[in-house]
Chains A and B, each alone.
Chain A
Amino acid sequence: MAVNFRVELIWQGSDDNEASSMFLTSDGRVILQGCGISAQEREALALPRDGDLISVDRALIRAIKDML
């Protein structure tokens, strides 16, 4: 049976704000929960046309600094 052990990390600050989840997967990746960037947003914000982009909130950035 293949090992499929996955950890979800959730950070809560002193203001009770909870960051969205980070997932540590068994193949070594860290997967972040965020929102995909639409083609319109890419154009409006002059973002690269190619590659997958997501936006994450600042609480998640704090969580990454604190937890990983």
Chain B
Amino acid sequence: MFLRNCWYVAALNDEVRDRPLGRMILGEPVVLFRAGDGTLRAFEDRCPHRQLPLSMGKVVGDALQCHYHGLRFDGSGKCVRVPGQDHIPHNARARTYPVAERYRWIWIWMGDPALADPAQICDFHWLSDPDWGAKPSYLHVEANWQLIVDNLLDLTHLAFVHETTIGNMALVEHAAVKVQRAPNNVLVTRWIIDQPAPPTFVKVGRFTGNVDRWQIIDYTPPAFLRLDVGACPTGTGAPEGRRVGGIGMRNLNAITPETETTSHYFWAQAHDFEPHNAEMTERVFEQIKTAFLEDVAVFTAQQRMISLRPDAPQVDINADAGGIQARRIVDRLYREEQDAAAHATAAE
């Protein structure tokens, strides 16, 4: 199940250059490239002549040239050259997708192009804000995109999956979690008061005593999760809004379905302490990356089990509250999108 009428991250901005990049998105092959003048383009990765992926071709000026017979397609997807003949068939056209470049990511709209509004792109300004140090990355994950969303909305797993990095038992003991559900948003807020800092926080924050720690997870469909996490020495007023003497980070996640069982996982770690210290950015990134790879092992194993028996029953626990609400929003948006498509078809 994919939502189509929304922006997705298709690539890191430096992945897309003048050489075509092929990538499967929502089960559709897409080719991304920059034309000669640097303009970003996205086409269906399929030559309308004999179906060769256009990503095997090359950029020639402002056009993309197919590797097989040299057909060239301009920025609108229209074929402008067929070697050896003057006549260009009117249906020789590659499908195009709206694209945008923002926050060091390349965004793509896979639904009705008429509805694509770049103003709807989810805010990830921390990636390009000079007041923050940030490093983006990409993981290819052999798991359904919603398993990753579930994982990020439930932070109790940190105590078990990440006990040597960002988790500790304080996350599941004496924890009060608030789940706020708006029509198109879920906010999970959690404070852990007067508890030891986890190993990663000690390394980068140099805490010597207990901390007041926050985890605020902001979910926007289909799969954008912005985590505001950090800690301050206990009793310095962080729960009341005075974040002093501590560390603040944003863990930024944009998951793009590749297929029903595989995902493109774009993520980044941003920090507000020593923002211009590249060594610190790298250190923070590496600490979190370790935890991310622990998660990937979990998603992948979950997907293997789900694929073996898709209808196996599942039990819900209190910690699933955020993920359950996110899935309900997606279900509703999917129904609305399907209804609108059926209505449009009936009206034609």
What is the CA–CA distance of A1 and B169 in the complex, to the nearest angstrom?
10
Which stretch in B116-124, B177-185, B250-258, B337-345 binds the other chain? B177-185
Q: Are A7 and B321 touching (Cβ within 8 A)? A: yes
The residue on B at minimum CB distance from A6 is B176
Query: Chain B residues near A14 (CB, 8 Å)?
Result: 183
Say yes or no: is B305 at the interface (Cβ < 8 Å to chain A). Answer: no
Closest-by-CB residue of A relative to B170 is A1
B328 at the interface (CB under 8 A from A): yes
Interface contact B177-A67, CB-CB below 8 Å: no
B residues less than 8 Å from A10 (CB atoms): 178-181
Determine which of A12, A13, A25, A66 lies in contact with B180 in the assembled complex, contact meaning CB atoms within 8 Å. Answer: A12
Q: Are B179 and A8 in contact (CB under 8 A)?
A: yes
Q: How far is the CA of A9 from the CA of B186 in the complex (A)?
A: 10
Q: A38 near B: Cβ within 8 Å?
A: no
Residue A64 CB within 8 A of the other chain: no
Q: Does B240 contact A (CB under 8 A)?
A: no
Distance in angstroms between the alpha carbons of A13 and B181 in the assembled complex:
8
Docked CA distance A4–B171 (Å): 10
How many Å from the CB of A24 to the closest CB on chain B? 5
Residues on B with beta carbons closer than 8 Å to the beta carbon of A13: 183
Whole-angstrom distance from the CB of B185 to the nearest CB of chain A?
A: 9
Interface extent on B, as a size class?
10 to 19
B314 within 8 A of A: no
Interface residues of A in 1-42 (CB under 8 A from B): 1-14, 24-26
Known: A4-B173, A4-B174. A24 touches B182 (CB 8 A): no
- Answer whether residue B319 sits at the interface, using C-beta atoms and an 8 A cutoff: yes
- State which of B172, B180, B181 has its C-beta within 8 Å of the C-beta of A3: B172
B318-A5 in contact (CB<8A) = yes
For window 161-213 of B, CB contacts with A under 8 Å fall at 169, 172-183
A5 contacts B319, C-beta separation under 8 Å: yes
CA distance A4 to B170 in the complex (A): 10
User: Taking the nearest CB of chain B, how far is it from the CB of A13, in angstroms?
Assistant: 7
Nearest B-chain residue to A28, judged by Cβ: B318
Select B175's contact among A6, A9, A24, beta carbons within 8 Å.
A6
Task: Answer whether residue B325 sits at the interface, using C-beta atoms and an 8 A cutoff.
Answer: yes
Task: Find the A residue at minimum CB distance from B319.
Answer: A5
B173 and A6 form a contact (CB under 8 A): no
Residues of B within 8 A of A4 (CB): 173-175
Q: Is the CB of A12 within 8 A of B318?
A: no
| A7 and B183 in contact, given A1-B173, A66-B328, A67-B325 (Cβ under 8 angstroms) | no
Chain B residue numbers with a CB within 8 Å of A9 are: 179, 181, 321
CB neighbours of B169 from chain A (8 A): 1
Is B182's CB under 8 angstroms from A8's CB?
Answer: no
Please, which residues of chain A bring their CB within 8 A of the CB of B263?
none
Q: Which residue of A lies closest to B169 (CB)?
A: A1
Set of chain A residues within 8 Å of B183, measured between Cβ atoms: 12-14
Query: A5 with B173: in contact, given A10-B179, A66-B328 (CB under 8 Å)?
Result: yes
Beyond A5-B318, A24-B321, A26-B318, is A12–B175 a contact (Cβ under 8 Å)?
no
Q: Are B181's CB and A67's CB within 8 A? A: yes
Query: In the complex, which residue of chain A has the Cβ closest to the Cβ of B174?
Result: A4
B179 touches A7 (CB 8 A): yes
B156 in contact (CB, < 8 A): yes
Interface on A for B, CB 8 Å cutoff?
1-14, 24-26, 66-67
Sample of 15 A–B contacts (CB below 8 Å) = A4-B174, A6-B318, A7-B318, A7-B319, A7-B321, A9-B179, A10-B178, A10-B179, A12-B181, A13-B183, A24-B318, A24-B321, A26-B318, A66-B328, A67-B325
Give 10 closest A-B pairs by Cβ, nearest first.
Answer: A12-B182, A10-B180, A8-B178, A24-B318, A7-B318, A7-B177, A14-B183, A7-B321, A4-B174, A6-B176
